[in-house]
Amino acid sequence: MDERVSQLVPEPFHARGNMFSLHGRVALVTGSSQGLGFEIARGFADAGATVIIQGRNAEKAEQACKALVDEGHDAYWQAFDIADGLVRSMAFDEIRQRHGRLDILVNNAGIRARRPLVDLSERDILTLINTNLLAAIEMSRLATELMREHSYGRIINITSVLGRLVRRGDFIYPISKQALETATKVIAVEMGRDGILCNAIAPGTFATEFNQELISKPENIERMRSRNPLQRWGKPSEIVGPALFLASEASSYVNGQTIVLDGGFSLMF
């Protein structure tokens, strides 16, 4: 084989053992003290990873971490606001000191403002964009500094099906999520040569604690039945499979892609 060609062809990949194992990996999942973030963190822990639970509320983060430790997993917690640059950097310094590496980052933390444009202040818009987009980008930058040292990394951005669909009364959230999906592609292109893959998951509506009021309204129940081929909300645990796939060796040639996880909701109108 021509030497120039051989350089582009890696060693054969054999699907032996458990391609979905995360043993020996260190994973940081933001916004993982509850909801989808906690389910992802638990799934990674089940697969053998050392998991870092992150949240703004120290008590909730500690409780979530305890739940994993009580199940026999290797986990600890960090409480900080991802939008605060100083404490964000300090959190990564701690990861470097404790492990010398970070293999997986899930940018799951985010905020929501279900209001139309006319009811949003400039501060409202900047706060949401800073948390949902800019902080996730900065988290990714800090993570790649650690990942590049080992020529390996997985970044998973949790976007939303509402980055592709829009509706009245929910102005800025879809914009932030669509922008994060674009950032996913750019990170994938820039960091692929360093062995760092970046992909996204775009969830539809899941029956999480955060969405309880939303999913209990009769009009939303009827809308889900008429719009979703599965005629139900997503179960929080159903995000684990796609997240584990993207975090593991099973997705070693998947880069810059978005898995839409909505039961087919976005296919119908």
Cite the active site residues.
173
Please say whether the beta carbons of 28 and 54 come within 8 A. yes
For the CA atoms of 166, 168, 173, 176, the dihedral, rounded to the nearest 10 degrees, stands at 50
End-to-end CA distance of the chain: 52
CA distance 95 to 139: 13
Per DSSP, the three-state class of 185 is helix
CA distance 178 to 188: 16
163 φ, ψ to 5°? -80, -15
Please say whether the beta carbons of 211 and 114 come within 8 A. no
